[in-house]
């Protein structure tokens, strides 16, 4: 069941700016449709693909655009009592879907978290290393010429790279292959 007409709402503009998120703009339209039109057809009637950038108006020739604001969401705000019309709002923010690390979004707007790239996080493990010789290779001794009882220790930190990704299945036996291993291949 088709959408028959899309009208830009003059009073349907909103937006804001914040230090954390930058600009966000929202544009509302009114669509006329045959009663019983599928909600997904209403949303798709705007013709805004994933990754679309801001334009105003959404209908006709744009008089304002911003290539740094991307489509974040489209919502159906209300539907007329007879089902022959609906108010839709498209919200644009600086969040570029192509740079989102939660996984790519397909042409239908579905996110696949299993296709997300692996995430890298660094950690360190602190240890102490007992030093028995100085830089010249001579033993470290006290005034009596004997090694120190408590020894001389220096802090030693081992960098640890933690690589993670979401997997549909996981075989726990796979852990034994890598447990306690050190990567000996240069990166």
CB 29 within 8 A of CB 88: yes
DSSP 8-state symbol, 146? S
Report how far residue 28's alpha carbon sits from residue 181's, in angstroms, rounded to the nearest whole number.
56
Instruction: Place 34 in a pLDDT band, splitting at 50, 70 and 90.
Output: confident
pLDDT exceeds 70 at position 113: yes
CB atoms within 10 A of CB 63: 8
DSSP E strand stretches across the chain: 3-18, 22-33, 53-56, 64-79, 85-93, 119-131, 152-164
77 SS3 class? strand
Taken in order 95, 98, 100, 102, the sign of the CA dihedral is positive
- Which residues is 93 bridged to in the sheet? 70
The answer to whether the pTM exceeds 0.75 is no
Mean pLDDT computed over 44-54:
86
| pLDDT above 70 coverage of the chain, percent | 96
Instruction: Place 1 in a pLDDT band, splitting at 50, 70 and 90.
Output: low
Instruction: Place 112 in a pLDDT band, splitting at 50, 70 and 90.
Output: confident
Instruction: Place 96 in a pLDDT band, splitting at 50, 70 and 90.
Output: confident
Please tell me the predicted confidence (pLDDT) of residue 92. 92
Three-state secondary structure readout of 110-125 = CECHHHCCCEEEEEEE
Residue 169 backbone phi and psi in degrees, to 5: -135, 155
Angle CA 25–111–49, to nearest 5? 50
Q: What is the tens place of the pLDDT at every residue in 143-185? A: 888 888 777 888 888 888 888 888 888 888 877 887 777 766 6
Report how far residue 28's alpha carbon sits from residue 49's, in angstroms, rounded to the nearest whole number.
17
**CA 113 to mean position of chain CA atoms:** 10
- Which residues is 73 bridged to in the sheet? 91
CA distances from 142 to 121, 135, 139, 150 (A): 43, 16, 10, 11
């Amino acid at each position: 069941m088709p959408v028959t007409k899309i009208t830009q709402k003059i009073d349907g503009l909103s937006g804001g700016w914040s230090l954390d998120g930058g600009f966000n703009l929202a544009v509302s339209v009114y669509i006329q449709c045959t009663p019983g039109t599928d909600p997904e057809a209403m949303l798709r009637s705007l013709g805004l693909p994933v990754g679309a950038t801001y334009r105003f108006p959404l209908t006709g020739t744009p008089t304002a655009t911003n290539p740094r604001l991307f489509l974040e969401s489209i919502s159906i705000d209300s539907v007329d009592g007879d089902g022959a019309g609906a108010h839709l709002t498209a919200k644009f923010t600086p969040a570029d879907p192509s740079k989102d690390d939660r996984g790519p979004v397909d042409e239908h707007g579905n996110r696949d978290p299993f296709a997300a790239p692996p995430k890298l996080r660094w950690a360190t493990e602190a240890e102490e290393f007992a030093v028995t010789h100085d830089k010249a290779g001579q033993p470290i001794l006290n005034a009596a010429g004997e090694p120190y009882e408590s020894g001389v220790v220096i802090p030693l930190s081992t960098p640890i790279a933690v690589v993670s990704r979401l997997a549909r299945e996981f075989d726990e036996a796979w852990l034994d292959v890598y447990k306690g291993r050190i990567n000996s291949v240069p990166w």
